[in-house]
Amino acid sequence: MKVVNKTKWNTMDLRKIFCRCLKEDEKAEGKLYQRKRLTVHVHTARQDSHCSGRASYNGIWIQMNILKNINKRSIENICYVFLHELQHTRGYHHGQFSEVVLRDMAKVIAPDYVLTEKINIKKEKPDIQQIRYNRAITNFGKAETRLKRAKTIYKKWAQKVKYYEKVFAFKSSSNHS
């Protein structure tokens, strides 16, 4: 399962929750045939009141919108929404699966997990001028090589032209005598 996280929450924490939900769901429903190809896109919800989601029927993607501020009840809600959307990826429509069972499953799973915020590691920005200078040196070396090759080809063809000019000059002088 691939998790594409666009929130402030740690991706590994979300992945742990989703994997546990998937494991519990597979105990009840059987193995999900598209498990490796399943992609979960997680975004921050616009409103700070509830989680939501959507998924394609018999598909391989789930999109979830989760809250900016998380508490134990929110994690339970995340588990429930993921389990609900997982049913859609299995091909179930609303009314074909039990919401109560999913709520109970989410209540069992949620207490074991905590969501932490991502740690922002600032990457050192590369020196653009140094990169461009290195590229210029490399390209200059390649240009020198091309120039040498061009000079060699020029000399080769100049010699051939001289040779044939001599041959034609000799032929024309021998024809006149």
The residues with which 57 forms a beta bridge, in sequence order, are none
The Cα 115–Cα 9 span in angstroms is 6
Global pTM exceeds 0.85: no
Task: Enter the DSSP assignment of 9.
Answer: B
Query: Torsions phi, psi of 117, nearest 5?
Result: -80, 150
Domain 2-112 has CATH 3.40.390.10: yes
Q: Take residue 52 and report the two structure tokens written for it.
A: 């939501």
Strand partners, 3: 40
The pLDDT of residue 177: 56
Neighbour-count burial of 18, counting CB atoms closer than 10 A to its CB (0-12 exposed, 13-18 middle, 19+ buried): buried
Each residue's pLDDT, cut to its tens digit, for the chain (177 residues) gives 899 999 888 889 999 998 998 888 888 888 887 878 888 999 988 877 778 898 888 888 999 988 888 776 788 888 899 999 988 988 888 888 888 888 888 888 888 888 888 887 788 888 999 999 999 999 999 999 999 999 999 999 999 999 998 888 877 777 665
Alpha helix ranges (H) inside the chain: 11-29, 72-89, 99-109, 128-176
Locate the domains of the chain by residue range: 2-112, 122-177
pLDDT value of position 176: 63
Q: What's residue 96's pLDDT?
A: 86
Q: What is the structure's pLDDT at 140?
A: 96
